[in-house]
Amino acid sequence: MGVLDDKVAIVTGSARGIGRATAELLSEQGAKVLINDLDGDVAQQTASEIAGETVVYSGDLTKTGAADELVKTAVDAWGKVDILVNNAGYTLDAPVHKLDDDTFRKMLEIHNVVPFQTIRAVAPYFREPAKKEKEEGIEVFRKIVNVSSTSGMFGNAGQANYASGKAGVVGLTKTVAKEWGQFKVNVNAVAFGFIETRLTAAKDDSNTAEIGGEKVQLGIPEQLRAMSTMLIPMGRAGTPQEAAGGIFLLCSPWANYVTGQTLNITGGLFSGMVS
């Protein structure tokens, strides 16, 4: 028995890293989980390796109509959605004076616009059942968790675009929490610090991704990695599983009276990667 038995969860960007760890944990607790990634083969492999019920939606969530197709995939499989975790994202770092418009907009698109679109897409499956439940005098809580970052909370040199997107999703979180509280929807965010993923791994030729047909460099310089670890009171980076634990908490019944909040999961770091 799990605390999420019979729940249906969508986790974007869930074939690797924090997203995969989240999908695994939600599944272990009884949820049926939609796995999403740009790379369809990796998404299918992840889905096959998770013990519980899964379905896959692969593709670029920034494409027109993708958010609606994502949600429809879960609804077609299981008839409902109870949990939405907006985790998909990546970084394109550069100082402000070297940022072009397209690079800035790409970060807003994936980190801010896509979460808005997926939230809008689940609206009928969150709001309409809640209206009937209210008439029957029962409370059923549904969950939205948006992934932000310490960059969005405190700023970070070289990440004006990423920080803007991650700050924007916090504002989105607080607004939807106010609009949908009456429907018993808990809407919260998590702000991660230094978690060991592809985005915080060493920046080298092997750490890349193909996004929109373009090769994107991931990771951060080794010197910055070392500095960041020194600034963390707990003395090390977090693991994807530790990051997923915070998301799970906000998806669990123990967070039924928590909404509009941002949970910092940082090992005690309360500033950007660099001051």
Instruction: Tell me the catalytic residues.
Output: 162
DSSP per-residue codes, the chain? --TTTT-EEEETT-SSHHHHHHHHHHHHTT-EEEEEES-HHHHHHHHHHSSS-EEEEES-TTSTTHHHHHHHHHHHHHS---EEEE-------B-GGG--HHHHHHHHIIIIIHHHHHHHHHHHHHHHHHHHHHHTT----EEEEEEEEHHHHH--TTBHHHHHHHHHHHHHHHHHHHHHGGGTEEEEEEEE-SB-STTTSB-STTSEEEETTEEEE-SB-HHHHHHHHHH-TTSSPBPHHHHHHHHHHHHSGGGTT--S-EEEESTT--S-S--
Separation between Cα atoms, residue 43 and residue 26, nearest integer Å? 16
